[in-house]
Amino acid sequence: MSNLPYDYYIDIVTKRYFHGVDNYDMDQVLACFHPDAVLTEVTSMTVHEGRDQGIATMFSGLFEGFSQIWHGNFVHTADVESEAICSQFSVEITPHDGGQLRYENCNRFYLKDGKFSRVFVYMSGDNLLK
């Protein structure tokens, strides 16, 4: 059982993790993960293992591939007792060649000692987390 309050879960997801992604702040994004964390994009069953290996490589590719990223319209359900939070949200992302992609996604975050240990990403479109 966690000693962390409900608001902590909302904060790490929105103000730290997604804020870091939207601002291309790799250090802030990776600070949310345990070193042995695993991120799985469930829709295509793509697995990224290790904060400093697979997850960092995945975010490098995301940041290099798109000129703008935005996450918003969040709806959260946090389970403090299980140290988990489910977040539904909209994503607007702009490839370097123009146009805009819009997704409606859902992520399930499992925490251990205040950091993500496992993350499951459900995307409404093509996998952008390669």
Predicted confidence (pLDDT) per residue in 65-102, tens digit: 999 999 999 999 999 999 999 999 999 999 998 889 99
Question: What mean pLDDT comes out for the span 25-29?
Answer: 98
DSSP for 55-103 reads IHHHHHHHHHHEEEEEEEEEEEEEEGGGTEEEEEEEEEEEETTS--EEE
Predicted confidence (pLDDT) per residue in 9-25, tens digit: 999 999 999 999 999 99
Q: b or e along 33-53 (b: 16 or more beta carbons within 10 Å of the residue's beta carbon)?
A: bbeebbbbbeeeebebebbee
For residue 2, name the pLDDT band (cuts at 50, 70, 90): low
Q: In order of start, what are the domains of the chain with their CATH numbers?
A: 6-122 (3.10.450.50)
The whole model's pTM is what?
0.95
